[in-house]
Amino acid sequence: MNDFEAKNVLVLGGSRGIGAAIVRRFAASGANVGFTYAGSKQAAEELAAETGATALRTDSADRSELTATVAARGALDAIVIAAGTLVLGDPLQIDADAVDHMIDVNVRAPYHAAVEAARRMNDNGRIIVIGSVNGDRMPFAGGAAYALTKSAVQGMVRGLARDLGERGITVNSIQPGPTDSDMNPADGPMAATMHSFMAIKRHARTEEVAELAAYLAGPHGAMITGSMQTIDGGFGA
Ligand code: NDP
């Protein structure tokens, strides 16, 4: 499985969850992988030791730190932006600073990282942002701010696809539904409610999402751009 041999890949938010599965997928395929983390130093170091990828401490909420890290990786073949946070709750009660931090990490960071990557990206490069099916549908209360961030990703992807298409660079969002991770454990308190919305009533595995990222990043993804690739077991159907 050397389909990404010597490709230069950066995963933002790779220490845990979906991002970590994407790091494993690309590293196992021969890519030269760097990944960022913010708080999970031990998990990041363990993943680096396991995969040979390079762990880079970079807070996505800090724009200059983020763009410096992206620039330092040079001409990328693919950037996968997986770093994200989830803040749910009654909008009348929810902490406004937590909402703003989520907007920083889920919206501002993907935009600035994608643009910075594009400055020196190789032709036919790939920009992949992990959005969410909640960009399309918000079937429960308390998710307005999170849905806002994931809908914003959709507009960014459509626009940047137009901006970068001339160089063969594709820009897409992967929109997972419930996916087993620290953010949304398959045995968590919301699991039964989430499964009730789904045609296939289980959480996705992070590896299933990583496989979609590999498809988009590979040669068969060359004509897929400006699109939202939903992988949600029918959550939004
Ligand atoms: P996890 O909470 O399991 O992992 C989040 C990852 O993002 C960690 O590696 C974390 O690193 C990193 N991260 C968070 N904040 C920052 C930051 N400020 N700077 C750098 N890295 C950061 O979440 P998931 O893997 O489940 O989620 C990944 C993406 O997928 C998110 O965008 C999420 O919204 C989206 N998603 C998830 C779904 C799910 O059901 N799990 C469903 C739909 C979308 P560290 O711990 O080192 O800070």
pLDDT tens readout for residues 57-101: 999 999 999 999 999 999 999 999 999 999 999 999 999 999 999
Nearest CA to ligand 1 atom 11: 37
Does ligand 1 lie within 6 Å of residue 181's CB atom? yes
User: Does residue 211 form part of some domain?
Assistant: yes
Residue 237 lies in a domain: no
- CA 123 to ligand 1 centroid distance, Å: 28
Q: Report the percentage of the chain scoring pLDDT > 90.
A: 98
37 assigned to active site? no
Residue at 1 is within a domain:
no
Q: What is the mean pLDDT of residues 31-55?
A: 98
228 lines ligand 1 (CB under 6 A): no
Q: Is residue 1 over pLDDT 90?
A: no
Q: How confident is the model at residue 120 (pLDDT cuts 50, 70, 90)?
A: very high
Give distance in angstroms: CA of 202 to centre of ligand 1. Answer: 19
Instruction: Encode pLDDT of 198-211 as tens digits.
Output: 999 999 999 999 99
**Ligand 1 neighbour 132 (Cβ under 6 A):** yes
Q: How confident is the model at residue 2 (pLDDT cuts 50, 70, 90)?
A: low
Q: What is the number of structural domains in the chain?
A: 1
Confidence (pLDDT) at 221? 97
CATH assignment of the domain containing 137:
3.40.50.720
Q: Tell me what pLDDT residue 228 has.
A: 98
pTM score above 0.80: yes
Among 40, 67, 130, 205, say which to mutate for ligand 1: greatest number of ligand atoms within 8 Å of CB: 130
Annotated catalytic residue, options 37, 111, 146, 215? 146
Does ligand 1 lie within 6 Å of residue 179's CB atom?
A: yes
Residue 3 falls inside a structural domain: no
- Domain that residue 26 falls in: 8-231
236 lies in some domain? no
pLDDT 10s digits, 141-185? 999 999 999 999 999 999 999 999 999 999 999 999 999 999 999
Q: Is residue 149 situated within a structural domain?
A: yes
* Three-state SS letters, the chain: CCCCCCCEEEEECCCCHHHHHHHHHHHHCCCEEEEEECCCHHHHHHHHHHHCCEEEECCCCCHHHHHHHHHHCCCCCEEEECCCCCCCCCCCCCCHHHHHHHHHHHHHHHHHHHHHHHHHCCCCCEEEEECCHHHCCCCCCCCHHHHHHHHHHHHHHHHHHHHHHHHCCEEEEEEECCECCCCCCCCCCCHHHHHHCCCCCCCECHHHHHHHHHHHHCHHHCCCCCEEEEECCCCCC
Cβ of 229 below 6 Å from ligand 1: no
